[in-house]
A and B are shown apart, each in its own frame.
Chain A
Amino acid sequence: MGRVYMIVLGVLMTGGLWGCGYNDLQGLDEDTKAAWSEVVNQYQRRADLIPNLVATVKGYAAHEKETLEGVVQARAHATGIQVTPEMLKDPAAFEQFQKAQAGLTSALGRLIAIAENYPNLKADQNFRDLQSQLEGTENRITVARKRYIDRVAEYNKMVRYFPTNLTAKFILHLDERPNFSVADEKAVAKPPEVKF
């Protein structure tokens, strides 16, 4: 019994060094932050494209005031939110950020939709280029969000599971992080589409 017992003990003791999940939690914490930065980055990229887009549409459809102003306002609202890593710990701030971006998405959707009515605008090289860039950015946003969702799911699992939840709670003081909702994901996954 003695030696076998000892072997078992030695083996299990080794287990203790990994089982607490300290390193994994730290790694996932960084991963979620990095994934979040990528999301913010891509949203910022989209915001940067908008002034040009609005200016181009204005050249052909200046009287579509309401739609144009809607985009400008939604953009101002979205970029007005200060994005910090702290946001990940605050579901309310996260929700606010998500709502503002969703508002910009739908405002942009309306803008692209009215372009349909202006053949000259649709044929404008500048507009088509902006259109391609906007589509590209929307797609990157989708990818970045998907990555964030995956990372956070992984992270949240670690934070909730036993026994790593003990490490998360008492040693690292990590909480669950907010994630994008599925309904919201669907809305964003469809980039505004334009047929030429």
Chain B
Amino acid sequence: MSRVWRQPARLVVFLGFLLNPLLLSALEVPPLTGRIVDLAGALPAHDSEQLSARLEAHEQQTGNQVAVLILPSLEGEPVEEYSHRVATTWRLGRKGTDNGVLLLIALKERKLRIEVGYGLEGTLTDLRSAHIIRNEIVPRFKAGDIPAGVRAGTDAIVRTIEGTYQAAESPTRDRQLLQSSAFQYVIIGIFVGFLAGLVLSQGLRRARALLGAVLTFMVAQAASILWGVAAAGLTAVLLWMALSAKGPGRRRGFDDWTWYRSSRGGWSGGSFDHGGFSGGGGDFGGGGASGDW
């Protein structure tokens, strides 16, 4: 039996490597250490703090997440590609409303970009972004005053997107989604475990034979659904123990399973866990504008 699907299994591994989209990239996405990530040291501490506070207040008021990244160099990467990667890695904006904005500045290439989340494309349009770059930021950059340009730029961005959204309640939506998907698996797991437990405690021979027939097909699939299997296994064992009254029948609540991670998607980093700043799960579709000075 095993020989029959060893070949496909090898193929699967091989194709997995082939099809895994090109994950290699030249320039790494820096960690999101705050609303202002100044890797080039272009902003005086005072400016940086002030801007940070301004953006934080804006977020508390509107839920919009605006961040600034200043780089010494793009190391040859196209600014659009890199900025989209940074924005989607940081996941600025809330999940669902996608109200994040990234202002990215690369000093060596003298290039900048405003990357706009899906949810703000209507107000901070490509055109508006281009105007902010052209009229607010570039003239100041050209004059050599990077801090002034960043200040004017973020100011214009914030003013544009003010009033688009109200501050959202705590990100409970995320949690619920996660629970419902885990919940579904747990329900099925419990159902199957219940059957298995009955079989175990009463020793039904016929059921055993029936299950044996299904066995071969199942083996191939077991690995990919480990967690559902674990739920079933645990339930089966617990039920078995309870029904055969051999050990203490300890019951576990559903809450134990909230850490379950589905194979597709997973959940986004929740925001403001540790008082620091983190993205809320927003998505970006390439909106915004680029420019140079």
Whether B12 is near chain A, meaning CB under 8 Å from some CB there, is yes
CB atoms of B130 and A132 under 8 A apart: yes
Q: Which of B38-46, B57-65, B209-217 contacts A (4 or more CB under 8 A)?
A: B209-217
The segment out of A17-25, A52-60, A106-114 that lies at the interface is A17-25
CB distance from A32 to the nearest CB of B (A): 13
Cross-interface CB contact of B196 among A7, A20, A27, A129, cutoff 8 Å: A7
Structural contact, B237 and A133, CB atoms closer than 8 A: no
| Structural contact, A17 and B188, CB atoms closer than 8 A | yes
| Residue A11 is within 8 A (CB to CB) of chain B in the complex | yes
Task: Specify which of A2, A10, A150, A160 is in contact with B15 (CB 8 Å cutoff).
Answer: A160
Contact B221 A163 (CB under 8 A): yes
| B27 at interface, CB cutoff 8 A | no
State the CA gap A150–B126 with chains docked (Å): 25
Interface SS, B side: helix
From A5, which residue of chain B is reached at the shortest CB distance?
B208
Cross-interface CB contact of B12 among A149, A162, A191, A195, cutoff 8 Å: A162
Asked if A29 lies at the interface with its beta carbon under 8 angstroms from chain B, I say no
Judge if B222 is at the interface, Cβ distance under 8 Å. Answer: yes
Q: Are B221 and A136 in contact (CB under 8 A)?
A: no
Whether B221 pairs with A13 at a CB distance below 8 angstroms is: no
B233: chain A residues within 8 A (beta carbon): 7, 10-11, 14
Name the B residues within 8 Å of A142 (CB-CB): 80, 286
Task: Judge if A12 is at the interface, Cβ distance under 8 Å.
Answer: yes
Complex interface: chain A residues within 8 A of B288 (CB) = 136, 139
Is A68 in contact with chain B by the CB < 8 A criterion? no
Q: How far is the CB of B189 from chain A (nearest CB, A)?
A: 6
Instruction: Take A6-B200, A10-B199, A142-B80 as given contacts and tell me if A18 and B286 are in contact as well, using a CB distance cutoff of 8 Å.
Output: no
Interface centre among B5, B197, B215, by most chain A C-beta atoms within 10 angstroms, is B215
Question: Contact: B126 with A132, CB < 8 Å?
Answer: yes
Residue of B129, B197, B221 with highest tally of chain A CB at under 10 A: B221
Q: Is A137 an interface residue (CB 8 A)?
A: yes
Which of chain B's residues has its CB closest to A137's CB?
B126
Closest chain-A Cβ to B96's Cβ sits at a distance in Å of 16
**B57-106 at interface with A (beta carbon < 8 Å):** 78, 80-81, 84
| Residues of B within 8 A of A (CB-CB), count | 58
> Which of A9, A27, A149, A195 interacts with B212 by CB under 8 Å?
A9
Contact A14 B229 (CB under 8 A): yes
Contact of A143 among B12, B200, B286, B289 (CB under 8 A): B286
In the complex, A170 has a CB within 8 A of chain B: no
Task: Flag if A19 contacts B192 (CB, 8 Å).
Answer: no
- Check B80 against A14 for contact (C-beta < 8 Å): no
**Is A77's beta carbon under 8 Å from chain B?**
no
Chain A residues, CB < 8 A from B208: 5-6, 9
Is A19 within 8 A of B12, CB to CB? Answer: no
Set of chain A residues within 8 Å of B167, measured between Cβ atoms: none
Determine whether the beta carbon of A14 is less than 8 Å from that of B189: yes
Closest 9 CB pairs of A and B: A19-B221, A10-B196, A136-B126, A143-B286, A132-B130, A14-B232, A12-B218, A18-B225, A140-B286
Can you list 18 A-B contacts with CB-CB less than 8 angstroms, sorted by A residue number? Answer: A6-B196, A7-B200, A10-B196, A10-B199, A10-B233, A13-B214, A13-B218, A14-B225, A15-B225, A17-B188, A18-B228, A132-B289, A139-B287, A142-B80, A157-B16, A157-B19, A161-B15, A189-B78
Contacts A12-B218, A15-B218 known; list 12 others, CB within 8 Å. A5-B208, A7-B233, A10-B192, A10-B211, A13-B192, A14-B229, A14-B231, A14-B233, A18-B185, A24-B264, A144-B286, A195-B292
